Amino acid sequence: MPAADPVTWPAGFVAYTGHGGLREHGDDISIVASDRPATSAAMFTRSLFAGPAVVLSRRHAAGRNLRAVTTLAQNANVATGRRGEQNAAEVVRRVAAIIGVPESEVLIGSTGVIGRPLPMDTILPRFDRTAERGVAAFTAGPLDVARAMMTTDTRPKVAVRTAGRARIVGVAKGVGMLEPDMATMLAYVFTDAELSPADLDTALRGAVNRTFNCLSVDTDTSTSDTVSVIANGAAGAVDPARFAEVLADLCLDLTLQLAGDGEGATKLLRVTVASARDHAQAKRIAKSVVNSPLVKTAVHGADPNWGRVLMAIGKNTDDTDIVPGDVTVRFGDIEVYPEEPEADTLGRLVDIMRRDEVDIVVTLGLGAAEATVYGCDLSAGYIRVNADYTT
């Protein structure tokens, strides 16, 4: 039985975690379910190689009445052909039977190595044993579920907020292959707020665009990205605008946890581009900076090399309205371009770069639009993790 979890689910939600043989030790299967009908919203990767879990979940999410989420860790079940589709469908069928809901109300996430079939010979017996116990097996808390979802993560990611009488709890995983093309990684949000499907969808899309869609670790988009929110109404109605605001704050919390735990990361990198022509330009330039391997390695080494930031801005050659003389760059609160810091300031600049969180601010001098994106430094640890990933 999972250890006592200091974080609890919103009213009406229960969860289960167990070991299904996907990893050598520890729980690798999780289920979170509502004990009553719910409304939902979800977004998925746009990768051309989206896995069977994503393809199946897209169909189920279209009904906007998801009631449960199941996740398999350590195996993405991607590029596994017809067999992979059948295995994903069988997992959903088993989960639906355990909790007593239609299969169309179950979302499935699968994350990990690409190109390997699911070990159904160990997974299905686990579901059989769980079915024998029924909801009595559903004793896991949010931290238990977040741990069971982990692959190369070093710590579980959980966030909690309130909106009126309602509670909102989010869990997430993912520290590599992170460059959003809708959301990025797996993130599930559960709330006892009562909201219409339309209001829930609007809130989720707004939150994703301001948070998960502003996250990048290594510019690679996963084949399994999924983010969803399920609302069962147990706490009653809440103001949709207030809920949207709180949901975005919770998603930002998870985004920062993901960025700070990027594979091999030692620092959180936050890049803000201000006074841009429009939001799209601000975000594009900011992403160019946060994704630059040279900027990321400079941050890792606490090297205030602002020339690399200028390089990352300048390679956006279609943004011809950017005038170098109108651009400013700051590391923390110290301007490094166009006015080079005085010699006696360089020591303080290095101290800023040594912090656990490094802020780079660029102003373009074009308009009033602004965007902030989130990432991490690039260390030898990233290479080690990914060089050895399947061996």
Which of the residues are catalytic? 184
Give the chain's radius of gyration (CA, Å). 22
Tell me how many degrees the CA angle 221-224-227 measures, rounded to the nearest 5: 95
Tell me how many degrees the CA angle 116-106-222 measures, rounded to the nearest 5: 40
Phi, psi for residue 5 in degrees, rounded to 5:
-105, 125
Q: Which has the closest alpha carbon to 277: 196, 188, 364?
A: 364
Distance CA 169, CA 250 (A): 8
**Virtual torsion, Cα 145, 147, 148, 153, nearest 10 deg:** 130
- Contacts of residue 287, defined as CB under 8 A and 6 or more positions apart, other chains included, come to 216, 373
- Contacts of residue 342, defined as CB under 8 A and 6 or more positions apart, other chains included, come to none
- Contacts of residue 243, defined as CB under 8 A and 6 or more positions apart, other chains included, come to 163, 166, 168, 191, 193, 195, 199, 203
What would the DSSP string read from start to end of 272-321?
A: EEEEESSHHHHHHHHHHHHT-HHHHHHHHTT---HHHHHHHHHT-TT-TT
What does DSSP assign to residue 83?
Answer: H
What does DSSP assign to residue 242?
Answer: H
Residue with tokens 């390679």: 315
Cβ pair 198, 241 in contact under 8 A: no
